[in-house]
Amino acid sequence: MNRSRVAVGATLAMVAAIAVVLTIFPRLFPDEYEWNLPDGMPLPVVPADNPMSDAKVVLGRQLFYDTRLSVNGVTSCGTCHAQELAFTDGLAQAVGATGEVHPRGSMTLVNAAYSGRLTWANHLLDTLEVQALTPMFGEQPIEMGMAGREASILEILRNDEHYRHAFPATFAGDSDPYSILNTVRALASFVRTIVSFDSPYDRYLRGDNEALTTGQVRGMNLFFSERLECFHCHGGFNFTDSSTHSDTLVQSVGFHNNGLYNIDGSGLYPPDNTGLYDLTGERRDMGRFKAPTLRNIAVTAPYMHDGSIATLPEVIDHYERGGRMIEEGPYAGDGSRNPYRSEFVRGFDLTPRERADLLAFLDALTDESVLQDPSLSVPSSE
């Protein structure tokens, strides 16, 4: 077992133990939180031991943008999750606080509250509270680099003028509110407020017939057609088949091999990016990754788990072909012949107008409000 799994495992055990203790005592949080959601939109799932509150969200926002929590003192959660890029970073592969290049790109945090599973290829991470431990304490690769620095981080929380008052006020039921667990709870609460349901597509569904152009409507019909199959992996209210909400009866969890690689014709993916196979060891899981939400997809380039496709037109090329052809190099192979490729990645033919319509529809999934909402931006230092 590698060091990062040991560190994360130990922290998970610590968080679980503290959570059990805290559930014994009544917490002084409001029972209801006012979500800013359109009528008819389901509420996100919120863990019973971390109810939402305005104070917790405000505190989580401050922590999200606090660079002092990182090992280099200049990296924050917001470094890899920039609001104007739908909370991604515009890089093919993320770069941690120590400068280490990661094998995968930073996923959008928009509507993460509705994600049935979190991160690209871990079928076990199903809450934001647990997922947050990986970027905070993981060591292979290092992201925030907080492992081993818990004591100094807690000193910051106790001594900072803002945190010194905010933690006791937010976690008033705790004998010692300054804790890693409460830091995680506040961060998760803030991330749950990063929701996006005001794109032109959403307004069209709510009855604004002028919200989409004629071409975008044609593109929408193509997207949801059996001919292209896009909606099977990127369907539902959040444009992903890994989604959940408070009224969910059967949780949807989807991981797929989309024919991005087929090294030497054997179905293999690059060794540092084998998808679910890395955790399960099951050959059928080779190259299976989560289908991310397509909301705000036009501003989250580059694409795929490893950022290896630069533009949306190239993404359409990939799926039109039914898998990527890599002619030469260490990853050479025909992805359309990958034996583990999803049955929904079969290829199709588009006319020039259909291609333009499909791209126009994807652009209509951009929600400018979430990209500019001041309540989600870097807090004022005033």
The pLDDT confidence band at residue 380, using thresholds 50, 70 and 90, is confident
Q: Where is 334: in which H helix or E strand?
A: strand 333-334
Q: Work out the percent of the chain whose per-residue pLDDT is above 90.
A: 88
pLDDT digits (tens, 9 = 90+) for 124-174: 999 999 999 999 999 999 999 999 999 999 999 999 999 999 999 999 989
As assigned by CATH, the class of the 3-196 domain is mainly alpha
pLDDT at 27: 37
Please write the tens of the pLDDT for every residue from 345-376: 999 999 999 999 999 999 999 999 999 999 99
Torsion-angle region of residue 207: left (phi > 0), alpha (psi -120 to 50) or beta?
left
* Domain ranges for the chain: 3-196, 229-347
- pLDDT digit string (tens) for 206-229? 999 999 999 999 999 999 999 999
Q: Is the pTM of this model over 0.85?
A: yes
Query: What band does 240 get if pLDDT is binned at 50, 70 and 90?
Result: very high
Average pLDDT, the chain: 92
pLDDT of residue 1: 42
In this predicted model, what pLDDT tens digit does every residue of 285-294 receive, in sequence order? 999 999 999 9
Instruction: Count the Cβ atoms, other than its own, within 10 Å of residue 191.
Output: 25
Same fold, 3-196 and 229-347: yes
Q: Which residues contact 103 (CB under 8 A, 6 or more apart)?
A: 93, 141, 270, 272, 273, 306
| CA 346 from centroid of its chain's CA atoms | 26
In this model, does residue 30 exceed pLDDT 50? no
Pick the CATH number of 229-347 from 3.30.70, 1.10.287, 1.10.760, 1.10.3470: 1.10.760
pLDDT at residue 85 above 70? yes
